[in-house]
């Protein structure tokens, strides 16, 4: 069971993020937490910090929590390994370059039999690690590549990018839980499916919702949003948050199972169903 988080805002916002505290929102109390990572977009590039250690044992994670880095798009992940050993190459988020942009991807769930059905060596974007998640990301990048090649350094339309992402998410959701966060630096994409919940000392069967969403213009109280593990300076602007489970008791809405969304500059701009 992994925990996902993303933020998109119109202008760069200052975000302090405690991965140790954040993981508790989803009930992630097991000692075998397998790693963590957080990606901050800046222009077309990304500042990525990740580590194959429990955040609670990491001085680097404590540094990230206190730094307060600015970005207008952030993707974070706390991992509990299912497929792939707890090593750096298997730690989310994953990144690849395409079309002059850095692309970042994180996944909550398990894509069953993907290694049996997909030849990793036939992909142009070949995985470094052993996870089902990174292999799925490389499949997505290969499917995005012809679209981006048409624009020769420009941006494909949001609708075209969302269409490719939605088709990919629909296929992957047939393999198991497929909650995805993906960004090319211009647009944040998400797919909500089903997730496992920690209950009564064990794990439930996967069920919806897999992601929840909050718009921090309609529900903010002042220029700051704060909860356990997160402090965000909103600067009175459009800001949208996504998380595996709501981070507090107000303003969050579950995303319907099988929906994909596109968020630009803090506002949802498109939605499709798989």
Is 2 among the residues known to form the active site? yes
Closest to 22 measured CA to CA, from 261, 241, 247? 247
For 18-76, give the DSSP string.
Answer: -HHHHHGGGT---TT--EEEEEEEETTEEEEEEESS-GGG-HHHHHHHHH-EEEEEEEE
Q: What are phi and psi of 53, to 5 degrees?
A: -140, 155
Catalytic residue among 2, 73, 138, 216: 2
Contact call for residues 107 and 179 (beta carbons, < 8 A): yes
How big is the CA angle at 202 (ends 198 and 206), to the nearest 5 degrees?
55
Spatial separation of the C-alpha atoms in residues 266 and 120, rounded to whole Å: 35
Q: E strand or H helix at 162, and its extent? A: helix 158-172
Helix axes 158-172, 132-149, angle to 10 degrees: 150
Spatial separation of the C-alpha atoms in residues 17 and 274, rounded to whole Å: 31
CA of residue 148 relative to chain centroid, distance: 21
Q: What are phi and psi of 212, to 5 degrees?
A: -125, 155
Residue 15, CB-side half-sphere exposure with 13 Å CA sphere:
25
User: Residue 193 pairs with which residues in a beta bridge?
Assistant: none
Give the catalytic positions in this structure: 2
């Amino acid at each position: 069971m992994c925990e996902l988080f993303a933020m998109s805002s119109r202008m760069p916002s200052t975000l302090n993020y405690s991965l140790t505290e954040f993981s508790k929102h989803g009930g992630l109390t097991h000692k075998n937490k397998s790693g963590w990572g957080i990606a901050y977009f800046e222009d077309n590039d990304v500042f990525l910090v990740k580590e194959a250690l429990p955040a609670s044992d990491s001085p680097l994670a404590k540094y990230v929590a206190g730094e307060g880095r600015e970005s207008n798009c952030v993707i974070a992940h706390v991992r509990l390994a299912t497929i792939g050993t707890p090593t750096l190459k298997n730690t989310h988020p994953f990144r690849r370059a395409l079309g002059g942009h850095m692309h970042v991807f994180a996944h909550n769930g398990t894509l069953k039999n993907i290694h049996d059905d997909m030849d990793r060596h036939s992909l142009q974007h070949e995985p470094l690690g052993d996870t089902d998640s990174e292999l799925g990301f490389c499949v997505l990048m290969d499917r995005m590549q012809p679209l981006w090649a048409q624009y020769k350094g420009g941006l494909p339309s949001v609708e075209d990018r969302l269409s490719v992402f939605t088709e990919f998410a629909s296929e992957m959701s047939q393999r198991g839980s497929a909650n995805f966060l993906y960004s090319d630096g211009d647009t944040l994409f998400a797919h909500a499916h089903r997730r496992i919940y920690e209950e009564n000392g064990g794990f439930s069967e996967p069920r919806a919702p897999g992601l929840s969403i909050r718009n921090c213009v309609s529900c903010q109280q002042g220029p700051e949003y704060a909860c356990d593990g997160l402090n965000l300076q909103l600067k009175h602007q459009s800001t949208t948050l996504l998380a595996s489970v709501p981070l507090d008791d107000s303003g969050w809405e579950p995303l319907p199972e099988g929906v994909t969304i596109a968020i630009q500059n803090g506002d949802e701009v498109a939605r499709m169903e798989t």
